[in-house]
Each structure stands twice: as structure tokens, then as C-alpha cells.
Structure 1
């Protein structure tokens, strides 16, 4: 269960993030208010791979916070770009990682990702052109091809921040303890989230209606009103990733490790399938380098 099966590292060592001057902006995503609480964080079912560090289950006490009910959409991100002239890292580097079945411009392929040939580098793929330069992004879908650095730039403009990993998991759980998914412990007969159906990575039967992203406000929200905290797109969190952090995590508002090489991503994506990547669970963790951008990673924001 390699993290790369779902989100390849497209990091570019030694290349600085684009310069950006924070500005005041208006964040238009509706909010869910998460009450102060203590919750049990971690994998209570033994589903996770040991390298992901989903255990031990441990109590975490959080102050109240507000979180976006959906991932930030293409329309939301476009408003930020139009107000600031910001260029994402995918645009600066000239390429991003696209799942092979989602490529719209075969001539724009510049290579494959080591160890994950279903991911290809596509010249001209970015937040507005998710499959390649001739493609277009639907405004009500989650924005993708945004790096952790890009997400932080949006937050600075909007007066927001990325959720800590603990805040993300607390909100995804919807106030219910120890559940595998936001709705319960089992997948229902009707699709409840956007994940892979078929044989990964060659055949997606699209039984849930989607090959790649679904609209951000789709399927049933959880008890806190969050749409698709699992499935659809991975979501960046503020924390550095460490597989051993849970053993030393503070009880109150844990901020994550002080240093690291990769940032936490949560929630899984439209590529998750039990045969290769069962990370569409409340407790599931993965990570990617802060400058990586892929066609299945976005973000949502929080504030207190």
C-alpha cells in the first residue's frame, strides 16, 4: 500500500516556491462549526499499514473551530488567481502529475513517475487544465494540481489556514467515535463517496458516476455537514508527516512534528480501492512533498 499508488511525489528539490505577497480576500466556502471536544484519534480497526503510523489510538482535545463544508473549488481558486495574479507551482514548473486515464493530450506527456506508471507528467496540466492543456476544469469541482505551497498562498489571501491533521480527522468523524468512515464502518449498497470501481489502474467502471473528480458538493454530508471528507480528492493539512508522531503527540491541539520532509494529506481520492489503497477512511494518513501537485489533491481551510 504505497502512498505513491494514489498521490505520486512530484517534488522538485532545490526549486523555491513562487514568491507571493499575502493580500486580503473573501473566502466564499460555507462553514461548519466544530465544537470543542476530546476525541479518539487514530485507527481503531487495524486497517492501516504500519508505515502510515495510524496508531496508537490516542485522546486529542481540540478547541472549537470552523471548517469549509467542501474542498476549495475551481471557482473559489479562480477568484484568488484573478485577484492576485498568482501562479501555481504546476504553472511555474510547466507540468503536473495526471492519472493516465485522465490525460487529454497524449502529445503533452513528458514522462512517467518512477514506480507508478499510471501517473504521467503532462506539460500544461494545472488547476485550470487538469487533464492537459486542451482540458478545462469545472467550477464546482475541487481544485486540484495545487501544491501545499499553493494552498498556503490561497489561505494567506483568504485570511484562513490549513487544518491541522487532528482538526481534519475530528471534522471528518462528524462527532461519532471510532468509525471507519464518516457514515459508519461499512460501505453502503449505494455509493457514499467517490472512489475507484473496477480493476486498478486499468479499468474504472465508474459505478459511482465519476472517473476523476466529482463536484465538491456531492454525496451525503457527514453529521457536521462536511461533503466528501473521504474520497474524491486528497486534502492538504498543515502538519509535517511522521509515522511515529502519534506516540508522542500532545493531548491538546497537536500541531504535528516541528520538522519533516513531507506534509500530511488526508481523505484519499477517486483512485482509492481496497486492492491498492484503502485510505478513504477517517484515520487514514499519507503525505507528499510540499511542492508536489497532482490531479487528485486539493484542500479545505479552517479558522478559529
Structure 2
């Protein structure tokens, strides 16, 4: 009898340990150290050495399912819902042209006429602003990665433009991007016209999925080139819209800039544990 109780206690302890461990399976540990970031000729991201403290970054971008839990718990109203200013895309537009759609928001990331997220709960949340991302982080007790942390995580120890090297032709193995020559004709050659479920492509050496492509990921930080009287939000990694011929930001070097209250259907984020 005593032996049975001991066995039950051991099994219970093992289950608890497994449950605790599962809480961390969605995050990747990045150890502290000195890292070389930036590029020799990059104006926004010059070559430099930085010291990074240990942090834990989400293996995937935040999903519609996770963001919905935040909305249901807080009844938060996103910038796109409040300002009616979300920008969406449809094939046929000229390069770098987007449409303002007052119906677009996180529930209808490309506008109501293009459908909702009912069957896309494992896709990254989009059509949210930097301000919305920060509101989620405050509720979930997490934070956005800094510009430097994001770059360290994305490089996964590499010093090249991409974490696998400098050959852009390999991008299709690791990222959901736009493969078409331009944006005049719809491109779903990789299986997705817009976003893809998180983790659909190969991860980098650290085990991070979609660090390039799928959606731009908001980061914290400021740049020395920032206008003193203007607040900007930063996002990195490129998106499903980015192509080799337009906005090829699906790399570890480039940094995108946008208004803190702007919402696009190719913007999202991943989080860092406090």
C-alpha cells in the first residue's frame, strides 16, 4: 500500500514537472553575450557590437487564437476598429500601393469582403498597430523584443544577411513571401496568398519559425536617425507581401518604420517573456 502511494506521488510529481516544462516549450532561450549586429553600409542599422542579457523569445508569431483571448478578457478595441484606418492589399495593385478599408481589423484582416479568421486561428494576428501589440503585452505580462534582441534571435549565430547564408534563393524553404514578379497577379505558389499558419516553414538554428516573412514583427527601440519630434514604430523580418523585387526585408538586417497607430494586414508580432 505504501509503495502504491509512493508510486502515485512520483507519477503526480512527474506530471507537474511536465506541465511546468510545457509552459516553456513555446519560448526559445537566447543566452547573454556579446553579438555583432548591423551592416557596414546600412544607415539605420550600422555595424556594431552589443551586449545582450539572457531572454526568452516566442518560437512563433502571436496567433489570432491568442489575440482573441486578450480581446475576450479585456474588451479592448484596436486602433483599426477605432480609427477605421487599416490598410489592406489585393492582387492587381501597383507596387507599394495599399487600400484603406474601414471594415478591416484583426477579425477581418483583409476587410470583411475578403473573409474573416474563423478557419485561420493558427495564423498570426494582423491588422493591428504597435499600440495594440503593446496593449496585449501589458495584459499577457510579456513584452516586445528590442531591435537588438530580435536581430540576435533571427541570426541564430550567423553573421550573414540570412541565417542560412547569403543565398536569397533559399528563402522559400524558410518563409512565406510573395514569389511573383510583381503584385499585379495573385501569387499563392507557396500555398498561401496572404498569411500562413505559424510554423509552416523551416525554423532557424535556434528553433524560431517565421522569423522572416509571414508578418512584419513589431520591436521596441529607437534609432539615431529618428526625428526628435516624431514617434515611430519599428517592425522587422518582412512579410507575406514582401518579394525579391519589392520590400525584400525578409532578412536579419533591415528595419521597417511605421506610425504607432497604423494597421496593415502584414503586421504582427512575437513576444518575449518578462
TM normalised by structure 1 equals 0.75
Instruction: Determine the C-alpha separation between the residues in 2 that align with 1:156 and 1:217.
Output: 25
Q: How does 1:189-268 map to 2 (within 5 A)?
A: 191-243=173-225, 260-268=230-238
Cα distance, 1:80–1:188 mapped onto 2, change above 3 Å: same
Alignment partner of 1:82 is 2:38: no
TM normalised by structure 2 equals 0.83
- Is contact 1:72-1:300 (8 Å) kept? yes
Cα deviation, 1:170-205, whole Å, max 9, x if unaligned, reads 0111122x1211222213285321111112221243
Secondary structure, in 3 states, of the residue corresponding to 1:139?
coil
Secondary structure, in 3 states, of the residue corresponding to 1:185?
coil
Hey, what does 1:185 align to over in structure 2?
166
Tell me which moved more, 164-173 or 131-140.
131-140
Alignment partner of 1:129 is 2:108: yes
Instruction: Determine the C-alpha separation between the residues in 1 that align with 2:208 and 2:195.
Output: 17
For structure 1, list consecutive stretches of 5 or more residues without a partner in the other structure: 1-26, 103-111, 245-256
Task: From 169, 172, 175, give the equivalent of 2:157.
Answer: 175
For structure 2, list consecutive stretches of 5 or more residues without a partner in the other structure: 1-22
- Is contact 1:34-1:65 (8 Å) kept? yes
Instruction: Determine the C-alpha separation between the residues in 2 that align with 1:63 and 1:286.
Output: 24
Structure 1 or 2: larger strand share? 1
Hey, what does 1:150 align to over in structure 2?
132
- Is contact 1:216-1:228 (8 Å) kept? yes
Q: Per-residue deviation at 1:260?
A: 4.4
Instruction: Determine the C-alpha separation between the residues in 2 that align with 1:30 and 1:261.
Output: 32
Alignment partner of 1:280 is 2:250: yes
- Is contact 1:29-1:72 (8 Å) kept? no
**Over aligned residues, Cα RMSD in angstroms?**
2.5
Q: Per-residue deviation at 1:161?
A: 0.9
- The structure showing larger relative contact order (alpha-carbon pairs under 8 Å, at least 6 residues apart) is 1
Hey, what does 1:19 align to over in structure 2?
none
Secondary structure, in 3 states, of the residue corresponding to 1:123?
coil
Q: Per-residue deviation at 1:117?
A: 6.6
Cα distance, 1:157–1:131 mapped onto 2, change above 3 Å: same
Hey, what does 1:8 align to over in structure 2?
none
- Is contact 2:217-2:237 (8 Å) kept? yes
Secondary structure, in 3 states, of the residue corresponding to 2:91?
helix
Secondary structure, in 3 states, of the residue corresponding to 2:193?
coil
The higher radius of gyration belongs to 2
- Is contact 2:179-2:187 (8 Å) kept? yes
Q: Per-residue deviation at 1:39?
A: 1.1
Structure 1 or 2: larger helix share? 2
Hey, what does 2:18 align to over in structure 1?
none
Secondary structure, in 3 states, of the residue corresponding to 2:143?
coil
